[in-house]
Copies of this chain bind each other. A is one copy, B any other.
């Protein structure tokens, strides 16, 4: 129970530090040899947005609720799709162009559900996880309000 709990919390993380895609994919692959297909989505900071330069992006979260929302996304995805396991890591810090922001890794026996689940998770994360971002631009700071 305790080690299941740890495993689950490790599979869903909000952190300042950068992450390794390889390490997350390896951690996922270690959970089952039945995994035949792994899809990932990596969100990166771009150097412009809506036609303006972006110097940096500052992330903010509702600590506690954000992690809970991501854990419940994970449970729901494991229920909803024919997948074996998944991981979600989201950075909350200040990032610059090219920096990694979010990683979703989904493992399944077959690729169809892995693609479906991965896209569903990033779409749902944007709608359901209390994280906000402010872009620092030449014209000043600007809170991002849309879900692109």
Contacts and interface: CB of A to CB of B under 8 A. Distances in A.
Interface string A7-46: 0000000000000111001000100011111111111111
The 9 closest A-B pairs by CB, nearest first: A22-B22, A38-B42, A33-B47, A40-B40, A36-B46, A33-B97, A115-B119, A21-B22, A33-B98
A82 to B, nearest CB: 13
Interface of A: 20-22, 25, 29, 33-48, 97-98, 109-111, 114-115, 118-119, 122, 148
A46 B29 CA distance: 11
Given A22-B22, A98-B29, A44 B39 contact: no
A97 B44 CA distance: 32
Nearest to A42: B38
Contacts of A29: 44, 98
Contacts of A122: 111
Nearest to A103: B38
A41 B35 CA distance: 12
